[in-house]
């Protein structure tokens, strides 16, 4: 009978431990990876520039012609442009080559 009282006291702590363990597993398996994907998508969308070939969340391929604060203009066919919200861009297929400012490059090389 003395043994039954000790076993009952330890049983009250086990459900709380199991709930905490379950929450920890859910955090590392679901919440953290989702936050990482969201940060990566935001970084990709903020780095969009003219000339980038992108795919929208609807599967439409296009080339970025203009970037605004909230919208992106895509050329989906020669002479056909459509406007999309930045979050509608799913991924960048190819990045346009960015030309660096030639004035700063020349200033660095002239020092010789």
CATH number (domain holding residue 30): 2.30.30.30
Q: Quick one: tokens of 11? A: 């049983």
> In which domain, by residue range, is 74 found?
2-97
| 60 part of a folded domain | yes
- Position 95 confidence tier, pLDDT thresholds 50, 70, 90: confident
Domain count, the chain: 1
Chain mean pLDDT for the chain: 82
pTM, to two decimals: 0.60
Mean pLDDT over 63-70 rounds to 92
- Position 112 confidence tier, pLDDT thresholds 50, 70, 90: very low
Q: What is residue 71's three-state secondary structure? A: strand
Residue 76 has pLDDT above 60, yes or no: yes
| 106 part of a folded domain | no
Residue 12 has pLDDT above 90, yes or no: no
**Residue 68 DSSP one-character state:** -
Residues in the chain: 112
Q: Quick one: tokens of 86? A: 């930045």
Least confident of 5-9, 24-28, 45-49, 94-98: 5-9
CB 70 within 8 A of CB 86: yes
The Cα–Cα gap between 67 and 70 comes to: 8
The Cα–Cα gap between 83 and 64 comes to: 10
Percentage of residues in the chain having pLDDT higher than 90: 55
Instruction: Give me the residues paired with residue 84 across strands.
Output: 72
């Amino acid at each position: 009978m003395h043994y039954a009282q000790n076993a009952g006291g330890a049983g009250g702590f086990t459900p709380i431990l199991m709930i905490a363990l379950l929450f920890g597993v859910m955090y590392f398996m679901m919440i953290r990876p989702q936050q990482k994907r969201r940060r990566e998508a935001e970084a990709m969308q903020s780095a969009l520039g003219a000339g980038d070939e992108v795919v929208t969340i609807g599967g439409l391929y296009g080339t970025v012609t203009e970037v605004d604060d909230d919208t992106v203009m895509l050329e989906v066919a020669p002479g056909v442009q459509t406007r999309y919200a930045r979050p509608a861009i799913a991924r960048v297929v190819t990045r346009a080559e960015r030309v660096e400012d030639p004035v700063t490059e020349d200033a660095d090389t002239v020092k010789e």
